[in-house]
Amino acid sequence: MLRFNILVFACLTYATLLFVVAFWAEKRAEAGRLGWLRSPIVYTLSLSVYCTAWTFYGAVGYAVRSGLEFVSIYLGPSLMMIGWWWILRKLVRIGRTHRITSVADLISSRYGKSTTLGVLVTLLAVIGTTPYIALQLQSVATSFAVFGVNDPTGAVQTDLDKTALWVAAGLALFTILFGTRNLDANERHHGVVTAIALEAVVKFFALVCVGLFVVWGLTDGWGDLIDRIDASPVSSHPISGTRWITITMLSAAALITLPRMFQVLVVENSDENHLFTAGWFFPLYLFGMSLFVIPIAVVGLQVLPDGSNPDMFVLTLPLHYDQRFLATFSFLGGFSSATSMVIVAAIALSTMVSNHIVMPIWLKARKGGATVSGDVRSVVLYARRLSIFGVLALGYLYFHFSGGSEALASIGMISFTGVAQVLPAMLGGIFWRGATRVGAILGVVIGFVIWAYTMFLPSFGEAAGFTAELMAEGPLGIGLLRPQALFGVTGVDPVVHAVAWSLAINTLVFLLGSLFSFPRPVERLQGAQFVNVFEHSGTARGWSHGFAETEDLLVMAQRILGASEAQALFHAAAAEQGKEGYLPDATPEFIERLERKLAGSVGAATAHAMLAQIAGGVLVSVEDLMAVADETAQMMEYSNQLEMKSEELSRTARKLREANEKLTQLSIQKDAFLSQISHELRTPMTSISAFSEILRSAGQEGDLDAESLERFSSIIHDEALRLTRLLDDLLDLSVLESGSVSLNWTRTNLHDVIDRAMGAVMQGRDGVGIRIERNEFSEHIAMETDADRLSQVFINLITNARKYCDAEQPTLKIQVRRIGQDDVQIDFIDNGTGIPADKQTVIFEKFSRITDHAKAGSAGLGLAICREIMANLGGTIAYLPGQGGAAFRLDLPRVRTR
């Protein structure tokens, strides 16, 4: 017999292995070397979270109790998968196009990004899934107990409750570690998926091994087996036609409506073409998982003592024959089934809860919502982590208070029926443009109520007030409202009864509600985009002309996506529009694109609400609606072509406009240049001339005291120096501009260059005068450059910050990053008010100064010189908007580019 502590050891080793595998996959994903990790096989294996402990242990028990009927739970998903061209392909495409993060997000997004629907579906999912999680905890705890009972020392007292608590805590840790690494739910959780795939392999082979052991070890092969099946009580159960059909369809629906299934099928899908493989490979997996269930049930009933729990045959059969290794393997299989379900379900639910419940409340609670400062990412991440914890805590509490009762056994079907209530809204949403938000809300609510009344609450029995009397005679003696014989429909199986009534009335109300309500414009737009997702992938849009300040959008995007990703997105969009810098025009296309990107992180409804706060309400233009209205492929194609042409035209126009603006500005500036030079030269000259004249006359008349004499001479001296500096700058600039400057390329450490610049600034009259934040560690980058010139740029930027930063406690952050192998990025960010958008394009021009020159004390050539130096060093300098202060970004090659 197997020692219990060996089992615990195996279990912990296995859990460690999962951590290692998940960690390894995350590392590979970060390095961008996923390779086979994103193969269709891994995708298909991850779908196996469909097979929970309910399958692994429960299927045999189900077969013992009801015969062949158990298999309908796997036939349904097989049908859905084999017919993937119908529904799954569309769901996956929609999920990818609209960056859908969960079932709730899909429904909410389809029906006009409705917050109400998001909340409803989330609640439904949480209520439907919690008991199911409890079931998993129970099965792990029970399987431990089986070993405890069988321990030869007899010293092990397994406390079901404590085991469940430990398992729940471990799962919470794992899920938080690997499920909330990145915010974008649309970016795959490679670590989790890989670990799930491994668990899929383990549970499959565990069950198959037990099956093979039974078939080849305990019977005389298939022929004998079939005879035994014929003779066994297992196959004497009649198949109930209504249950057979109902459960097949219900489980088919479960494949797309269960939150965890939606998560692995749609959200984690990295390539639509994976469906080509999953379409047959997943049914094959289910086939393998089901094949040995009946044999195990038949043999288990024959050989095991009467009264053995059939739910544990998978474990007790090997134990009965003292097959320690097989029993341990089988135990790990069950453990895998339970944990993988809980992990994925917790991720899926936490995404829903944080996106559809926490975020809307958070947005409402903070007046000004999206525009206030603060990091939204951390809010979302904490919301996710707390939700994961909450979901597992709920599961555990449910287990604890239901006492691991028999009621849990039927919970699988109850859960399936609960989440299936979103089916009408989901299918209606992707196939019927006439489906409306009102219909969807009504349908989901009514379906939910009927499900709760006929199935969910009665499962609690007396505890929920569903006494035998109420079940038999109806509330207040109203026979028509008997929970399991609604409207006088008697003699039907309770499951069939609940499924039929809830889904039928749900569908009816959904259809009627849709027919008699009028959709809002956003709904119509989303409806058309969902239904026709294959015809136009994201051409229509929900934003008419943007009133948004791009800089505000950037600020918000940075807080959700993180600075570098948001900047890259804006930079790319600006480049596509033919613009330089980080601020594209807030065109409707751009806002739409941004919204989708944000939706991948916080869900469509929240993303839309946040953008609406900045862009000032949602306007759908007539053209947009017309784009929705024209349906023929020809029209679409023609307008697509036109759109492409007009897009190209507008891009060219934008480029021209920008070039023209620049030219005009340049000519004005060239013109102003002479005036400026004159001004900059004459101003110090005036002081010099005036004071020297004063001194001269004082020399003649002797009426000046010594103090004034000294002061006036020092003014003359200072002004002369100022003139010299100006001339130096001008000469420097002209040399740099002509490209004839000789640079002194050497190998140097960036950290030393910054140090040198700091030293030079500190030597000046005013010291540093501003707090500098550096991360010296990241600055140690070896590079080939002209250290003197580069430090000249740094000096300029530091003195600029010192001069212009108007914060109470001026602070300058210097951030150094390596970009890939060959580039270095250095940001100088202060905490002042920054530079207004209209000035940002001219600050690098000569003599452009945006404050008065008395304060500046220089001629406004600093940034122009910086720009020329950077160009000579093969890099760029740009103003980086949206950082909360003035920010300059330097991009430099690490080695000299020739």
Pick the closer one to other proteins by CB: 32 or 223: 223
Rounded CA-CA distance 797/703 in Å is 46
Minimum CB separation of residue 275 from other proteins in Å reads 8
Minimum CB separation of residue 537 from other proteins in Å reads 12
The pair phi, psi for residue 546, each rounded to 5°, is -75, 135
Minimum CB separation of residue 635 from other proteins in Å reads 11
Pick the closer one to other proteins by CB: 470 or 698: 698
In the complex, which residues of this chain contact other proteins (CB under 8 A)?
Answer: 67-68, 71, 75, 78-80, 82-86, 226-227, 229-230, 235-241, 244-245, 248, 273, 276-277, 279-281, 283-284, 287, 290-291, 294, 633-634, 637, 674-675, 678-679, 682-691, 693-694, 697, 715, 718-719, 851-854
Minimum CB separation of residue 678 from other proteins in Å reads 5
78, two tokens: 């097989």
Minimum CB separation of residue 91 from other proteins in Å reads 15
388: Cβ contacts below 8 Å, ≥ 6 apart: 172, 175, 176, 179, 180, 346, 347, 349, 350
Minimum CB separation of residue 540 from other proteins in Å reads 18
Minimum CB separation of residue 94 from other proteins in Å reads 18
- The helix (H) or strand (E) run that includes residue 629 is helix 622-629
Rounded CA-CA distance 888/825 in Å is 10
Minimum CB separation of residue 851 from other proteins in Å reads 7
Minimum CB separation of residue 285 from other proteins in Å reads 10
Pick the closer one to other proteins by CB: 689 or 897: 689
Minimum CB separation of residue 287 from other proteins in Å reads 5
Minimum CB separation of residue 718 from other proteins in Å reads 8
Pick the closer one to other proteins by CB: 48 or 175: 48
Minimum CB separation of residue 273 from other proteins in Å reads 8
Instruction: Say how far residue 226 (Cα) sits from the centre of its chain.
Output: 50
Angle separating helix axes 494-516 and 411-419, nearest 10 degrees: 10
Instruction: Please choose, from the candidates 808, 794, 810, the residue with its C-alpha nearest in 3D space to the C-alpha of residue 877.
Output: 794
> In 10 A of CB 848, how many CB atoms?
18
Pick the closer one to other proteins by CB: 634 or 740: 634
Rounded CA-CA distance 59/333 in Å is 14
Rounded CA-CA distance 715/268 in Å is 71
Instruction: Please choose, from the candidates 584, 417, 607, the residue with its C-alpha nearest in 3D space to the C-alpha of residue 495.
Output: 417
Pick the closer one to other proteins by CB: 280 or 432: 280
Rounded CA-CA distance 451/486 in Å is 12
Pick the closer one to other proteins by CB: 84 or 329: 84
Rounded CA-CA distance 155/73 in Å is 39
Provide the terminal-to-terminal Cα distance of the chain, rounded to the nearest Å: 74
310: Cβ contacts below 8 Å, ≥ 6 apart: 60, 61, 63, 64, 65, 297, 300, 301
Pick the closer one to other proteins by CB: 22 or 688: 688
Rounded CA-CA distance 750/229 in Å is 78
> In 10 A of CB 656, how many CB atoms?
11
Minimum CB separation of residue 761 from other proteins in Å reads 23
Minimum CB separation of residue 90 from other proteins in Å reads 12
Minimum CB separation of residue 45 from other proteins in Å reads 16
Residue type, 363: L
DSSP annotation string for 379-431: HHHHHHHHHHHHHHHHHHHHHHHHTT-GGGGGHHHHHHHHHGGGHHHHHHHHH
Pick the closer one to other proteins by CB: 59 or 548: 59
Pick the closer one to other proteins by CB: 478 or 633: 633
Output the CA angle 760-763-769, nearest 5 degrees.
95
Rounded CA-CA distance 337/201 in Å is 10
Output the CA angle 811-812-818, nearest 5 degrees.
145
Minimum CB separation of residue 82 from other proteins in Å reads 5
Pick the closer one to other proteins by CB: 230 or 773: 230
The pair phi, psi for residue 811, each rounded to 5°, is -135, 140
> In 10 A of CB 811, how many CB atoms?
16
Pick the closer one to other proteins by CB: 138 or 219: 219
Pick the closer one to other proteins by CB: 85 or 516: 85
Pick the closer one to other proteins by CB: 230 or 766: 230
Output the CA angle 697-703-706, nearest 5 degrees.
105
With contact defined as beta carbons under 8 Å apart, do 295 and 17 qualify?
Answer: no
Rounded CA-CA distance 806/785 in Å is 33
- The helix (H) or strand (E) run that includes residue 747 is strand 746-749
Pick the closer one to other proteins by CB: 174 or 281: 281
Pick the closer one to other proteins by CB: 14 or 691: 691
SS3 content of the chain, % helix, strand, coil (to 5): 70, 5, 25
